[in-house]
Amino acid sequence: MSNDPFDDPRRRRDRLHIMAEILEVTLDGVLKTQVMYKANLSFAQLNEYMKLLLSLKLIEAYNSGEQRFYKTTPKGLRYLQSYREIRELLKKEREHNPKTNNSNVFLVRRGSQVICNKGPF
């Protein structure tokens, strides 16, 4: 079992993590119900996240026959890659400084820029 707290099934998933999970699921194009089951979302959550990801153009919808599929866009792939890189950075930080935990690492938005700071502020 991994020591990564992000992989702890009891840990509450944050919004960015759920978005990344959906983008992983939709890499090859899937039906909406497949997204719901593979990302472990309720129907209401699914609709909220799908609407958000579509509006941000991180996923796209297309029809094949009578079915509607959803697929990660190139922009969504960039989000996913950035998300993975941030997780890896945080993992290395925890490994390098085992006495510190993630509670003192913050992503802060300054205008359109997102920066990583250590707290407390």
pLDDT at 100: 56
- What is the reported pTM? 0.71
Per-residue pLDDT 10s for the chain (121 aa) are 344 555 555 567 889 999 999 999 999 999 999 999 999 999 999 999 999 999 999 999 999 999 999 999 999 999 999 999 998 988 888 787 766 555 555 666 666 666 665 555 4
Domain boundaries, the chain: 5-118
- What does residue 71 show for φ and ψ, rounded to 5 degrees? -140, 145
Q: What CATH number should be reported for the domain whose range is 5-118?
A: 1.10.10.10
Q: What is the rounded (10 degree) CA torsion for 41, 43, 45, 49?
A: 100
Core vs surface per residue 61-72: b (16+ CB within 10 A) or e: eeeeeeeebbeb
Q: Assign 121 to helix, strand or coil.
A: coil
